[in-house]
Structure 1
Amino acid sequence: MTTLEGRPNTALLVIDVQQQVVADAWDRDGVIARINGLVDRARNEHVPVIWVQHNDENMPIDSDGWQYVPELTRGDDEPLVHKRFGDSFEETDLESLLAERSVGRVVVTGAQTDACIRSTLHGALVRGYDATLVEDAHTTEDLRQWGVPVSPEQVIAHTNTYWSWSEAPGRKGDVKPAAQVDFGRR
């Protein structure tokens, strides 16, 4: 249903599953295991896997915290997008990588739910992509000490709920558990 002409393919995005980002994340090990399962399935189905890695003054490039978690391994032929903003599309080559692969739908996993995941989902939708959020393959940490009034589980549940209703002319958002994600071509 994407508004991007001639872009029938799907890509899996693995966003910011970096040591510092997920150090205190809710259900860290479970989320990483489900992402690993999706990566394996995508590779087996010849679906592009695109890795996104954040850096900023608190998490500089090549620092220990900036590194991807050791449980996830990027393939040599899988692109890595370096970003400085929440939206993985902002000032990166993500859009050109997706265009080269004729991608009109992204399947989104990673961290943090209330920051880079939400920003990237919205960025995808406004740019014409369909965007599937994997309901059990994204996470965040407990931010109540900084004024967030709810637990990580509630942030994740809220994001899953509202994203399932997201749509714009000619494109839509949806939410699926990892076990039900269909990478099929459109």
Structure 2
Amino acid sequence: MTTLEGRPHTALIVVDAQQQVVADAWDRDGVLGRIAALVDKARNEQVPVIWVQHSDDNMAVGTDGWQLVPELSPAESEPLVHKRYGDSFEDTDLESVLAERGVGRLVVTGAQTDACIRSTLHGAFVRGYDTTLVADAHTTEDLRQWGVPVSPEQVIAHTNEYWTWSEAPGRTGDVKPAFEIDFGTG
């Protein structure tokens, strides 16, 4: 139902599964395990897997913290999009990578829920993509020490709940647990 013409395919997006980003993430190992299973499933079904890697002044390119986690490894043929902003589309080649593959629907996983995941979901949605957030394959760290009034579990639950209701003319957002993900276009 995407508004992007001639883009019937789906892609799995893995956002910022990097050492520093998930070092203190809630349910880190469980989330990474579910992402790994989805990556395997996407590969088996010949669905594009797109990796996104963040850098900024606090996480410089090439540092240990910038590296992807060892549990997840992009295949040589899988694009790696480098970004400096929360929205994976902002000032990157993600749109052209998706257009080349005829992608109009994204299945979104990764970190951090309350930053780059939310920004990427909204960025995709306003650009015309259908977006599925994998309910149990995104995470964040506990930010209460910096004034966030809720736990990581509550941030994740809130994001899952509000994204369930996302819709606009010609496109939808939905939320499903990893075991329910169907990469088909239906």
The TM-score with structure 1 as length reference comes to: 0.99
AA at the equivalent of 1:83: K
Q: How far off its partner does 1:86 sit?
A: 0.1
Q: Which residue of 2 aligns with 1:25?
A: 25
Aligned length: 186
| 2:147 equivalent to 1:144 | no
AA at the equivalent of 1:7: R
Distance 1:123 1:167 in 2: 14
Q: How far off its partner does 1:51 sit?
A: 0.1
Moved over 6 A (4+): none
Q: Which residue of 2 aligns with 1:103?
A: 103
The TM-score with structure 2 as length reference comes to: 0.99
% identical equivalent positions: 80
AA at the equivalent of 2:150: V
Flag structure 1 segments of 5+ consecutive residues without an equivalent: none
Q: How far off its partner does 1:185 sit?
A: 2.9
Flag structure 2 segments of 5+ consecutive residues without an equivalent: none
AA at the equivalent of 2:182: D
* Matched ranges for 1:1-186 at <5 A: 1-186=1-186
Deviations for 1:44-63, whole angstroms, at most 9, x for unmatched residues? 00000000000001000000
**What SS class does the counterpart of residue 73 from structure 1 fall into?**
coil
Distance 1:144 1:170 in 2: 38
